[in-house]
Structure 1
Amino acid sequence: MSVGKVYLVGAGPGDRGLITVKGREAIKKADVILYDRLVNFSLLDDAPPNCELIYCGKLPTRHFMRQNEINATLVRKAIAGHTVVRLKGGDPSVFGRVGEEAEELALHQIPFEIVPGITSGIAAPLYAGIPVTHRDYAGSFAVVTAHDKSKNGKPDIDWEGLARGVQTIAFYMGVSNLEHICENLIQFGKSPDTPVIIIRWGTWSRQQSVVGTLSTIVEKVREAKIENPAITLVGDIVSTRDKVKWFENRPLFGKQVLYVRGKAEEENRASKWMEQGADVIEFPRWIVKEKAIDSAVLDQLSVYEQILFLSKESVEAFFAQLKKSKVDIRKIQAELYCQNHSAITILEEKGLFADHVDKLSHQGSMLTVGSEEQEKIGSCLNNDLFASVYETIIDERYETIINRSLEDATLTTIVFTSSEAVKLLMEKGNQYGISPKEINQSVEFVCETAEACEALKKYGFAVGKHENDILIESL
């Protein structure tokens, strides 16, 4: 067996759109991904369905995997012939210990690539409305770790050179040493009135900023109860914030949403809400697995007068199977119909045009295409020809991921797509660390359907909003 390859990838600081094209391509071909706590877990959606996902996050007080364990796992998986992605928050070379991992791989003669990422010391200030350089304020910029290998845990750096020679300074993970940082910068030349901003969870919807000066910021941070992960930015450049602030003005900024979908086929609005500034945790995560089409169905493809697709997943799986079986789509002579508009859109992308099921005549031979769970719909349509082309299951790989996401989030909203979604959360929520009764006091429930509202009421919960009262897009 040949040795695999390792990609050491920077995932960016949080906003999932900040990963590089090369980083995303590495994820798409990975057999194994080792991912950190500060990675936006939605990036894992691009991983292949059979990719092994290994959490190796680190907290100040506990590590799920020590660095030597991470190194050993990278080596072991690569030697087994796998394509391995080490997905690290921000840029892997900026306090990301990529040098140690690369050295270990080189020692074992394992091929690897390092894919740079956007570092939080630049991105977090920009999302708070602050460029790190500006012709009127700052022509120099430095990134500094606020934790190093010093015995007392205080950063051992050239304070005088930093205070006198650099106009904008970004300290990483500096909350616990903030008082030490401020005292030394003042002692070695910075004015006590130098502006400072602390940015927690930069580029996420949960982003929180506290502004002060070197003489006031410590007390303000204590009052706001700010903890890591956070960037501390020091310099006159902080004064540009009020003019340049943009991210926090998004309509859904501050919303942290648990999005519960009862079926894989239900429309997924997560991306739309994220574009408007919300953080979205999807529960559960669904896998769509294609199934081979019966050869008898393929043999009769040119005979069917009507074909009904019950979901966009059925369209995608059906045509994927035609391709695998080397069946020319020009054999399809039928009129095409779809259960929903998203399926119609997928067909149009293939150069095929369909009508909504409402226009179906039910005359002539008809093939219904869907999943095993949808086969009863074919029976209701008095149709004996049903092609089951896929099945849906809950992706158990995401149990750990959802747990970790909820640990760091402070939910504001839970959205239910259907009555099935309500039932799923009530029956499986505790397995993922979600207790609806515990969070009901502080979280608003939103339903996309009247059926979901009724299901919630049966479980004894009050409904905050539903689609008839307010556009669901605005939560």
Structure 2
Amino acid sequence: MSKGYVYLVGAGPGDEELITVKGLRCIQEADVILYDRLANPALLKNKRDEAECIDVGKSPKRHAYTQEEINELLVLQAHKGKTVTRLKGGDPYVFGRGGEEALALRKARIPFEVVPGITSAIAVPNYGGIPVTHRNVSTSFHVITGHEDPLKEKSSVNYEALAKLEGTLVFLMGVGNLEEIVNQLRRYGKPKETPIALVHQGTTAKQRTVTGTLESIVTVVKEKKITSPSVIVIGEVVRLQDELNWFESLPLHGQRILVTRTREQASQLSTKLKALGGDVVEYPTIEIRPAQDIEGVNAKLKRIHQGDYIIFTSVNGVKAFFERLKALKMDVREMGPGKLVAIGPATAKALEEKGLLVEVIPETYVAEGIIDCLKESIKEGDKVFLPRANIARKALNEGLEALGAQVEEIEIYETVLPVQGEQHLRELLVEGIDWITFTSSSTVQNFMDLLGKEDRHLLESVKIASIGPITGKTAKKLGLPVDVQAKEYTIAGLVQAMMEVQ
């Protein structure tokens, strides 16, 4: 068996987007991933389906594995011929014990590579509105461990020297020893008025920053209940925090938002919400599957060239349609001369990416908008194909038939309840959710089916955001008050509506 290979990867300070391109590739290619408590678990969604994940995280009060056991596990997995990615918070070599792991691999003659990560010593103060250096304020910064080996008889931190420095002091892993750090600096002459900040869970949507002086900070931290993980920043640069606190000023900062779209589609909405500071939890309430009656679908697709119009009402419909064409080895030219209609810009874009131009997009992105758009152009006897979901509303069919069209519906995909525990949904709501977003009637219906009547009280303080009137109507019918409804029935419109009420 060939010898394995180990990547010691810095996962960055917390935000999943602050990992390097190379670090992400190491996750994607790994057979085994050993990850830390401080590495964002959302990064694991980039792994291969068959990759094994092992939580080796250590917290101040809990060690799932000792460092020696982690070293042994790296060697063991590599000896099996596996590609191993060791995912570590921040940078592997900045108080991450990456050097110890590298030495263990070298001793075992295991080939390895170290992939640097963005250290929390710089990134977390940045997100807290504090530059670690600033012209005419601080020309140096110094990174110090706030958590030394408890077995050491004497501290190796020279507080006397640190107290005399005019640069910025950054302590990592020091919350538990904050009082000792402050007392030692003051003991050796650091003025009690010196500004100090703690940034808790930096670069994440749960980030909180508190400030004070060496004299007051211990009391402030107790009152604000600041715990680990937090980065301590000491120095005159802290005075810039009020003006430069860009991250905690984002409109959705600290808001916990449940996204109920399909797993494949959630990323677009999630990305927009995260960019505005939201703490996004993806809990898909629908899953897209191919239609059961494949033969019936195939037969209709082989007649698609007969259509005067082909109307697409979702991106999912476009995707399923072209997947089926590919399976049938049908060329797009076999779609015939029929005019293409898309319910909205996202659906139109999906068609344009296939090289097709859309002739009709309604002003309002609902079935009624399509009917209003076509009422002057559809002639008696025109053939209309509708590739759509099995549970789609019949309003479009009925409206087109009323105009004299011959409608042939193609149930090209199905929306079903995903296989996931209702208990997990209950746990999320108990932990606290500020917003739930719904992007279709099926996401609402399935959500309520999963929740059950006995747990509806968990929604009492939750705000509901709907992508449009049809989805909103379904929510209200099921007893959910809609707090926000998009004016433009798109993902961008939904996000904009949520921002306007903050």
TM-score, normalised with respect to structure 1: 0.78
Larger Rg: 2
In the alignment, the residues of structure 2 paired with residue 286 and residue 108 of structure 1 have an alpha-carbon distance, to the nearest angstrom, of: 48
Q: 1:312 to 1:405 in 2, by over 3 A?
A: same
User: Structure 1 residues 171 and 322 mapped into 2: Cα distance closer, same or farther (>3 Å)?
Assistant: farther
* Corresponding residue for residue 344 of structure 1: 348
The 5 A counterparts of 1:17-416 are: 17-48=17-48, 51-64=51-64, 66-67=66-67, 70-71=70-71, 74-75=74-75, 78=78, 82-151=82-151, 156-165=156-165, 167-261=167-261, 268-284=268-284, 300=302, 303=305, 305=307, 307-316=310-319, 319=322, 329=332, 332-335=335-338, 336-354=340-358, 355-356=360-361, 358=370, 369=387, 382-383=407-408, 387-388=412-413, 394=418, 411-416=433-438
Q: Deviation at 1:168?
A: 1.0
Inter-partner Cα distance in structure 2 for 1:458 and 1:88: 47
Gaps of 5+ in 2: 362-366, 399-405, 488-493
Q: Contact 1:368/1:378 (CA < 8 Å) preserved in 2?
A: no
**1:237 CA displacement:** 1.7
Instruction: Provide the C-alpha distance between the structure 2 equivalents of 1:206 and 1:298, rounded to a whole number of angstroms.
Output: 51
How far 1:282 moved relative to its partner?
1.6
Whole-Å separation in 2 of the counterparts to 1:285 and 1:109:
48
Amino acid at match of 1:157: V
Aligned amino acid, residue 341 of structure 1: P
Whether the 8 Å CA contact 1:263–1:420 is kept in 2: the answer is: no
Moved more, 245-254 or 169-178: 245-254
- After superposition, give the CA deviation of every residue in 1:5-61 in whole Å (9 maximum; x if it has no partner): 443332322333322222233334445444444344444444445555554444333
* Cα distance in 2 between the residues matched to 1:450 and 1:207: 35
1:437 match? 457
DSSP 3-state at the match of 1:192: coil
Deviates more, 1:443-452 or 1:135-144: 443-452
CA distance in 2, matches of 1:82, 1:51: 10
Distance in 2 of aligned mates of 1:23 and 1:139: 31
Please state how far the C-alpha of 1:180 moved relative to its aligned partner.
0.4
Q: 1:319 to 1:257 in 2, by over 3 A?
A: same
Identify if the C-alpha distance between structure 1 residues 107 and 223 changes in structure 2 by more than 3 Å, giving closer, same or farther. Answer: same
Distance 1:186 1:28, change over 3 A: same
Q: Deviations along 1:302-326, whole A, 9 cap, x unmatched?
A: 9464655453244345556767887
Is the contact made by 1:147 and 1:155 (CA closer than 8 Å) also made in structure 2? no
Bigger mean CA deviation after superposition, 259-268 or 161-170:
259-268
Q: Is contact 1:264-1:392 (8 Å) kept? A: no
Aligned residues with identical type, % of pairs:
37
Of residues 135-144 and 419-428 in structure 1, the stretch that sits farther from structure 2 once superposed is 419-428
Report the Cα distance in structure 1 between the residues aligned to 2:408 and 2:302, rounded to whole angstroms: 15
* Residue 43 of structure 2 is aligned to residue 8 of structure 1: no
1:331, distance to aligned residue in structure 2 (A): 5.2
CA distance in 2 between counterparts of 1:141 and 1:352 reads 56
Question: Given that residues 154 and 180 in structure 1 are in contact (C-alpha distance below 8 angstroms), is that contact kept between their aligned partners in structure 2?
Answer: no
Seen in structure 2, the aligned counterparts of structure 1 residues 165 and 54 have a Cα distance that, compared at 3 Å, is: same
Amino acid at match of 1:342: A
For the structure 1 residues 298 and 464, does the alpha-carbon distance in structure 2 shift closer, same or farther, using more than 3 Å as the test? Answer: closer
Distance in structure 2 (CA, Å) of the matches to 1:173 and 1:38: 11
1:286–1:395 CA contact under 8 A, matched in 2: no
2:260–2:286 contact (8 Å) kept in structure 1: no
Cα distance, 1:93 vs structure 2:
2.2
The two structures have a TM-score, normalised by structure 2, of 0.74
Q: CA deviation at 1:338?
A: 3.7
How many residue pairs get matched? 468
- Report which stretch shifted further, 96-105 or 232-241: 96-105
In the TM superposition, what is the alpha-carbon distance from 1:172 to its structure 2 partner? Answer: 1.2
Instruction: Classify 1:260/1:298 alpha carbon distance in 2 versus 1 (closer, same or farther; 3 Å).
Output: closer
RMSD over aligned CA atoms reads: 4.6
Deviation at 1:467, TM superposition (A): 4.4
- Secondary structure of the equivalent of 1:196? strand
The answer as to whether partners of 1:257 and 1:280 remain within 8 angstroms in 2 is: yes
Distance 1:210-1:394 versus aligned 2 partners, 3 A rule: same
Question: How far 1:299 moved relative to its partner?
Answer: 9.6
Q: Compared with structure 1, are the counterparts of its residues 14 and 266 closer, same or farther at alpha carbon in structure 2 (3 Å cutoff)? A: closer
Change (3 A) 1:307 1:100: farther
Distance 1:71 1:207, change over 3 A: same
User: In structure 2, how many angstroms separate the alpha carbons of the residues matched to 1:404 and 1:73?
Assistant: 32
CA separation of 1:328/1:383 partners in 2, compared to 1, >3 Å: closer, same or farther? closer
The alpha-carbon deviation at position 340 of structure 1 amounts to 4.3
Deviation at 1:158, TM superposition (A): 2.1
- Aligned amino acid, residue 136 of structure 2: D
2:298, 2:328 within 8 Å by CA — same for their partners in 1? no
Task: Provide the rounded CA distance (Å) in 2 between the counterparts of 1:83 and 1:376.
Answer: 52
CA distance in 1, matches of 2:160, 2:38: 32
Given residue 345 of structure 2, which amino acid in structure 1 is its aligned partner? H
| Corresponding position of 2:401 | none
Shift of 1:399: 9.5
SS in structure 2 of the partner of residue 22 of structure 1: helix
Q: Please identify, of 69-78 and 241-250, the stretch whose mean Cα deviation from structure 2 is larger.
A: 69-78
Residues 5, 110 of structure 1: 8 Å contact kept = yes
Counterpart CA distance in 2 for 1:196 and 1:162 is 14
Q: 1:411 to 1:384 in 2, by over 3 A?
A: closer
Does the 8 Å CA contact 2:385/2:407 hold for their aligned counterparts? Answer: no
CA distance in 2 between counterparts of 1:248 and 1:309 reads 41
| Residues 167-205 of structure 1: CA deviation (Å, up to 9, x unaligned) | 211111211110000011112232222111111121223
Report the Cα offset of residue 337 of structure 1. Answer: 3.8
Distance 1:267 1:375, change over 3 A: farther
Do the aligned partners of 2:33 and 2:51 also contact (CA within 8 Å) in 1? yes
- What is the CA–CA distance in structure 1 between the aligned matches of 2:260 and 2:67, rounded to whole Å? 35
Higher relative contact order (CA 8 A, sep 6+): 1
SS at match of 2:93: coil
2:364 aligned residue: none
